[in-house]
A and B are shown apart, each in its own frame.
Chain A
Amino acid sequence: MIEVRNLRKTFDGFVALDDLNLTVPSGAVYGLVGPNGAGKSTVIRHITGIFRPDSGTVTVDSQPVYENPAVKSGIAYIPDDIFYFPSSNLLDMAKFYKGTYENFDMKLYEELRKSFNLDPKTQIRRFSKGMQKQAAFLLAIASRPKVLVLDEPVDGLDPVMRRQVWGLMIQDVAQHGTTVLVSSHNLRELEDVCDHVGILHKGKMLLERTLDELQDNVVKAQIVFREGTDLPESLQVLHRSKVGKVDTAIIRGNQERVGAALNAINPIFFDLVPLTLEEVFVYELGGVDYEVKNVVL
């Protein structure tokens, strides 16, 4: 549905995106993650047609996005810094959206507005941050888009509102098969809602997988080795540490295969657990020299 191919973008000599490839299948909920400054917002601005590629292509439904109103009318975008016309209220914004998006559904807007309990006549700049995000969300969903692009949609919201927003997004996906690209640092929450993940690093795609593949293919093993034994050579180890007699190793491979390999060396004890998305992030990036540094104060 969303295809980015060999995308290159430079700002004043700084290479923000370096031959980037990204694919979001139709109906997927794709989590775009990466360290600060990796290029997430830059990619998103290409996908929403704000930036034009220096080279490479950015297409939605096989059509290039840039300066293409036909394609853009099917994309709803909620940026990290949401913009509202200075003295507008929610009703004003709804009317503006209605004039811009041909599929805007006023009835749906009304329903959502009521369930979020937002006053249509108050100036939006007087809403709290959380309420402004809710407003952005309901305007986006009411536009009945084919593609939803969300940049940090729950950042700064309280736990109840976060769930409300994710719940609304999932409902839309479940009912209409909307394709969603969401960027967030909250990997704990993304893990629940995404089925695809792309890890961006220094303007390039480090790793792009379905969530199942990602979690089924790395395990955390805790092992107490017998005297004179160690991990089998055949295993690909991403990270290793030891506390007392217990070795902790992050190993590539599924639980069955790794379990079998470990059983073969007959350790005194071992345990295998799947990794959380957050752990996958930390270990994969640790492998490319982006890691928690021991700072001496």
Chain B
Amino acid sequence: MISLNYRDPRPIYEQLEEKLRRLILSGAIGEGEKLPSVRELASQLAINPNTIQRAYRELEQNGFIYSVPGKGSFAGKLSGVDEGRRKELRDKLLAIWTELLQLGENPESLIALLKQIAMGDSVGGGVPDAPEVTAAGAPKAFEAGTAAKKEEKRND
């Protein structure tokens, strides 16, 4: 189930966009898999449908999803993700690298890190999320928990 953090100051559509993006990038939502409809998600989360619509629009603009009229929205091919999103990330990366170097981080260690990731080795967990609140009692849950389940299986 998609869960939102009500204490996060960012707009809801941004949070939703991020969560769906991460699910698609990690493969939890596979290529070609159908996303819940705007109406379904709005009802499940008790959020205005326009907000959901906005998140879906942004995801489509950046190439993460595509819609088929009358059928719904589906996860797109990862290689199709827009240059716009990549530029956004590169800018953020530059800011982070700059800060790290200013704090005395060794450039060599950053290069080693990059090589490690490129070769497919996971480098430990990401930044832990702030406490999240889930929509309780919602009918058919959209299984966003599959990513967590995959993680559990790997650690066995």
Contacts and interface: CB of A to CB of B under 8 A. Distances in A.
Interface residues of B, number: 22
A177 to B, nearest CB: 10
A192 B48 contact: yes
A244 B51 CA distance: 38
Nearest to B54: A212
Contact of A167 (B11, B12, B135): B135
Interface in B103-138: 135-138
A163 B48 contact: no
Contact of A174 (B6, B38, B137, B138): B38
Contacts of A166: 46
Contacts of B30: none
A29 interface: yes
A235 B14 CA distance: 26
A173 B49 contact: yes
B70 interface: no
B9 A276 contact: yes
A160 B133 CA distance: 12
Contact of B48 (A160, A194, A273): A194
Interface of A: 29, 160, 163-164, 166-167, 169-171, 173-175, 188, 191-195, 211-212, 215, 273-274, 276
Contact of B10 (A160, A188, A274): A274
Contact of A163 (B12, B50, B54, B135): B135
B43 A171 contact: yes
A174 B43 contact: yes
Interface string B29-68: 0000000001100111111111100100000000000000
Contact of B39 (A164, A174, A215): A174
Contacts of B46: 163, 166-167, 169-170, 192-193
B21 to A, nearest CB: 19
21 contacts: A163-B135, A163-B137, A164-B137, A167-B43, A167-B44, A167-B135, A170-B49, A173-B42, A173-B48, A174-B38, A174-B43, A174-B49, A192-B12, A192-B48, A192-B51, A193-B46, A195-B48, A195-B50, A211-B48, A274-B9, A276-B9
B48 A170 contact: yes
A244 B42 CA distance: 43
Given A171-B39, A171-B42, A273-B9, 14 more contacts: A160-B136, A163-B135, A164-B137, A174-B43, A174-B49, A188-B6, A192-B47, A192-B51, A193-B47, A193-B48, A195-B48, A274-B9, A274-B11, A276-B9
B90 to A, nearest CB: 18
Contacts of B135: 163, 167
Complex A-B, nearest 8 residue pairs according to Cβ-Cβ distance, in ascending order: A174-B39, A167-B46, A166-B46, A171-B43, A195-B50, A174-B42, A174-B49, A192-B47
